[in-house]
Amino acid sequence: MAQPLVFPSTLQASLKPYLPTPSDTRPHVTLTYASSLDAQISLAPGTQTVLSGLMSKAMTHYLRFEHDGILIGANTAIADDPGLGCRLYSEEAGEVAGYDSQPRPVIVDGRGRWQPKGGRVVRTAADGVGKAPWWFVCCELSTLPQEHIDAVLSVGGKVVSLGGERIQWEELMGRLKKEGLDSVMVEGGAGVIGQLLGQARHLVGSVIITFAPVWLGRGGVEVIPDRNGDGKGEVGRLRDVKWLPMEEDVVLAGKLD
Amino acid sequence: MAQPLVFPSTLQASLKPYLPTPSDTRPHVTLTYASSLDAQISLAPGTQTVLSGLMSKAMTHYLRFEHDGILIGANTAIADDPGLGCRLYSEEAGEVAGYDSQPRPVIVDGRGRWQPKGGRVVRTAADGVGKAPWWFVCCELSTLPQEHIDAVLSVGGKVVSLGGERIQWEELMGRLKKEGLDSVMVEGGAGVIGQLLGQARHLVGSVIITFAPVWLGRGGVEVIPDRNGDGKGEVGRLRDVKWLPMEEDVVLAGKLD
């Protein structure tokens, strides 16, 4: 297993104002991603690109510790096959985050393209190290390969069809709240981030972005939200902004209006 | 005239390692621009968009104070009609930057589209407040409107054709050095920045970018350099990186390898 990560308590304190706050109807949604200077998250579609450094990674695990669920889109699940676990080491407790502190993996996959069987999320759950994933699709469940449904169900996960053509974010978040998640950290990819910065931005409570001092150059996967209305004005400005330098990177924390 | 700007000495000290250092053959080139979170510098081509705050503006004037020349492309000259002057107020000296401290405006305009007559740069020079502009084109001088050549010459400026089809950056920088500029600050626009982050990056000494916590959304003017070679690798990573939070913005200072 990869090594535990320490995130200094001073930096933890700086991020406290952006951590989840309780709400009755929906989970607190924290949108988080790592970007190059030219607003790209990877060198090419389907490619995992490591942009940021070790301290930023430790921060990600701190944020995972502080959230009930961790949500990614199908492209990211397929391209990266991430474990979505929390390896935060608490110096206070003298231990690494245990099972109860692991976030619930939520895979958002309108067209049902994820193939969880044999993947890290399912293996981690089978090993009792991580929580079982919840797999949300729009297509009918009968169109999903049975072996992949079985893989998720066999470790105690859920497979749910929301119906419709595209993910309805309001409905999904309401559902996650009902299922017991009071906070959800969204980690990507570009499609999910674009929708949550665009049409579904009213659902987002906090934004935490890491910038690495690198240009990926034209041809990568950009995070550029669509404009509203006449398409002429800016999409949005963050308020309560804090910039936290972390080694070579900087972390931007803020809230959407 | 717009008000003088104060840039705190502690922030000045933080930027010192990125200020021009002498060289025998070429000016020290500092590349500087203000970007949104989605890597855009304006809402639309030909539009001036104010992204960053007052402290970042004060920093720009501090940098202008520390450079012999200030270089912009024709699109920026046409869209913004900037004065390119330095209004830094020195608390030590108890005064605003005078004529001798003003940077030399350098307009890089391959196709000769700038129309300096009546513009701010020429007016500022005529008033004795700023230095006269140097106008570099590739086209033949005989193709430029005589009234605009006259406007530049009448205030003591220069109009120079470098020949060729596109700006040869190495040649231009050599020329500026010969003309007495030991340091040049490049302020935009996207075309000029893209070339200096791409093919001409070996000429760049320092990079200083301001990020504002805003998304402009798809449709604006992006700063995304072209990739080299096979187009698969990252374009470049900054070294000696420093992130300086300034009010709502952050300033990234670094050097190109």
Task: List, as one string, the DSSP characters of B200-246.
Answer: TGGGEEEEEEEE-SEE--TTSEE--PPPPTTS-S-SEEEEEEEEEEE
Chain B residue with Cα closest to A222: B38
Burial of B11: CB neighbours in 10 Å, binned 0-12, 13-18, 19+: middle
More confident: A226 or B117? B117
Interface of B with A (CB under 8 A): 35-40, 43-44, 49, 197, 209, 211, 213-219, 222-228, 231-238, 241-243, 245, 248-250, 252, 254
Cα separation of B105 and B121, whole Å?
8
For the segment B173-195, the average pLDDT, to the nearest whole number, is 96
Write the residue in A39, A216, A235 that is nearest to B234 by C-beta.
Answer: A216
- Provide the percentage of residues in chain B whose pLDDT is more than 70: 100
Q: How far is B136 from chain A (nearest CA, A)?
A: 28
B95 phi and psi angles, rounded to 5 deg: -150, 165
From B213, B224, B233, residue closest to A38, measured CB to CB: B224
* Chain B residue with Cα closest to A243: B245
- Split at pLDDT 50, 70, 90, the class of A24 is confident
Q: How large is the average pLDDT for residues B6-32? A: 92
Q: What is the pLDDT of residues A156-187, one digit of tens each?
A: 999 999 999 999 999 999 999 999 999 999 99
Measured CA to CA, the distance from residue B59 to residue B41 in angstroms comes to: 17
Distance from CA of A105 to the nearest CA of B (A): 27
- Nearest alpha-carbon partner for B151 in B179, B126, B176: B126
What mean pLDDT, rounded, does chain A reach?
Answer: 94
pLDDT in tens, A73-93: 999 999 999 999 999 998 888
Burial of A126 per CB tally in 10 Å (0-12, 13-18, 19+): middle
Provide mean pLDDT across the span B15-40. Answer: 93
Tokens of A55: 């301290």
Find the CB nearest A215 among B40, B197, B214: B197
Q: Provide the pLDDT confidence category of residue B25 given band limits of 50, 70 and 90.
A: confident
pLDDT digits (tens, 9 = 90+) for B205-234: 999 999 999 999 999 999 999 887 777 777
- Going by pLDDT thresholds of 50, 70 and 90, the confidence category of residue A1 is low
* pLDDT > 60? residue A150: yes
Are A28 and A184 a contacting pair, CB within 8 Å? Answer: yes
Q: Which residues of A touch B (CB under 8 A)?
A: 35-40, 43-44, 49, 197, 209, 211-219, 222-228, 231-238, 241-243, 245, 248-250, 252, 254
Q: Is the pLDDT of residue A33 over 70?
A: yes
**By three-state DSSP, how is residue A194 classified?**
helix
The 10s digit of each residue's pLDDT in A192-226 is 999 999 889 999 999 999 999 999 999 999 999 98
Residues of B with Cβ-Cβ distance to A236 under 8 angstroms: 214-215
For testing contact with chain B, the best of A221, A246, A250 (most B CBs within 10 A):
A250
Model confidence at A236: pLDDT above 90: no
Across the interface, of B223, B235, B242, the residue whose CB is closest to A216 is B235
**What is the least distance, in Å, from the CA of A5 to any CA of chain B?**
23
Residue to test with chain A: of B31, B38, B256, B257, most A Cβ within 10 A:
B38
Among A41-55, B126-140, B167-181, whose mean pLDDT is lowest?
A: A41-55
pLDDT > 70? residue B235: yes
Q: What is the pLDDT of residue B1?
A: 52
User: Are residues B225 and A218 in contact, defined by beta-carbon separation less than 8 angstroms?
Assistant: yes
Q: In the 8-state DSSP scheme, what is residue B81?
A: -
pLDDT of residue B133: 98
Quote the pLDDT of residue A4. 85
Q: Which of A223, A233, A250 sits opposite B250 (nearest CB)?
A: A250
Whether the model pTM is above 0.80: yes
Q: Is the dihedral of CA A32, A33, A34, A40 positive or negative?
A: negative
| Nearest by CB: B39 against A38, A212, A232 | A38
User: B242 to chain A nearest CA, in Å?
Assistant: 7
pLDDT at B75 over 90: yes
| Mean pLDDT of the residues in chain B | 94
Interface test mutation site (partner B, options A36, A37, A241, A257, max chain B beta carbons within 10 A) = A37
Provide the pLDDT for residue B231.
74
Phi-psi region of A91 (alpha: psi -120 to 50; beta: other; left: phi over 0): alpha
pLDDT (tens digit, 9 = 90+) per residue, A94-123? 899 999 999 999 999 999 999 999 999 999
Q: Can you tell me whether residue B6 is helix, strand or coil?
A: coil
Q: Has residue A153 got a pLDDT over 90?
A: yes
Size of interface A-B (CB pairs under 8 A): 128
